[in-house]
Amino acid sequence: MKGRRSKPLSGPGALQLALPFEAIAPVPALPPGAGQRSAILEGQRVDYLLKRSRRRTLGFQIDERGLTVSAPSWFPVRELDGALQEKSRWILAKLVEWREYQQRRERLAIRWADGESLRYLGRTLRMEICTRTDGVMHDGAALRIGLPPGAGSGQMRDRVHAWLQAEATRIFGERLPVFCARLGRKPARWGLSSARTRWGSCTADGVIRLNWRLVHFPLELIDYVIAHEVAHLKELNHSAGFWSTVGELMPGYREARERLRALHEEGATL
Ligand SMILES: [Zn+2]
C-alpha cells in the first residue's frame, strides 16, 4: 500500500487524508496529553510514557519498558517538565540500574548454539552438537548434544533442559538424604520446581521443592538450599531457631547464602 494515496478531499481534513494509507490508520484514542513523550534530564534525552490516571499525585515508575509517568487527569502537561526535572537524579539513577541489570541478564543468558557454553555445578561446559548420536552426553568439559541435522535452537534448549533436569533429580536425590539424616527428619515427598523467583520451598505438610536451575551452581550452593529447606521440616519460619538448625546442618552456610544472593541479584538463570 506504500505510496497509495486517498483522493484529497476538501476541507480541513484534506491534508491528512492525502497521506499514505498507513499513516491515517486509526490510532487508539488516548486521554488528552497521554502517550509517548520525552524530556531532557541533566543533558540526556529520556523518553517516557505519560498515562492519565485517577490518582491524586504524580507517579514515576521505571521497569523494563523504561519510564512511565502517571498523572492525574487535571495535571497540566506544561508542568510535567518541571516535575521531571525535580525527580531527574532519581529517574536517571533508576534507568541506569535497569539497563545494567538487563545487560547482566543478557550476558548470563545461555546462547543455544554449537560451541556456546553452559554452567554445570559451577563449571563451564562447551556445548557440542552431534548429529550422529542420540541423547546428551557429559564428557569432561564438553556436553555432546545429539540433534538431528538442521535442528533449531529451541530443540537444543529442550534437550539440554531435559538433561539438566535429570541431573538435578539425580544430584538433589543424593544430597537430600545427607541433610535428612543429620536432622533426623524426612520430607513427605520432594520434587523439582521451575519457579522464576525462588530456589526452594517447604510446605507445612513437609513437601520440599527444589529449583532444577540450581544445577548450574556449585554444589555448596545446592547444599545450602537443601539444608535450608530441610531445616524447615523442623522450623517452618525464619526465626533464630531456624538459622541455628541450618548452621547445625551446614556449618558454612553463611558464605553459601551470600554467594547465592549475589548470583540472584545478577539475575543469574532466573
Ligand atoms: Zn526459608
| One-character DSSP codes across 8-46 | P-SSTTHHHHTSBGGGGS------TT-EEEEEEETTEEE
pTM listed for this prediction: 0.66
Ligand 1 centroid to Cα of residue 167, in Å, is 24
Question: Mean pLDDT for the chain?
Answer: 86
> Could you tell me the pLDDT band of residue 35, with boundaries at 50, 70 and 90?
confident
Q: Residue 13's pLDDT is what?
A: 34
Ligand 1 centroid to Cα of residue 126, in Å, is 34
Cell of 45: 534525552
Buried-exposed string 187-219: b where 16+ CB fall within 10 A, e elsewhere? beebebbeeeeebbebeeeeebbbbbbbbbbbe
Least confident residue range of 188-197, 213-222, 261-270: 261-270
Ligand 1 centroid to Cα of residue 237, in Å, is 7
The pairing of beta strand 200-202 with beta strand 207-211: antiparallel
Ligand 1 centroid to Cα of residue 198, in Å, is 10
Cβ atoms of 116 and 110 closer than 8 Å: yes
Least confident residue range of 32-41, 193-202, 209-218: 32-41
Ligand 1 centroid to Cα of residue 51, in Å, is 39
Domain locations along the chain = 25-106, 119-265
Thinking of the domain 119-265, which architecture would CATH place it in?
A: 2-Layer Sandwich (3.30)
| One-character DSSP codes across 164-177 | HHHHHHHHHHHHHH
Least confident residue range of 66-80, 100-114, 234-248: 100-114
Q: Which residue type occupies 249?
A: L
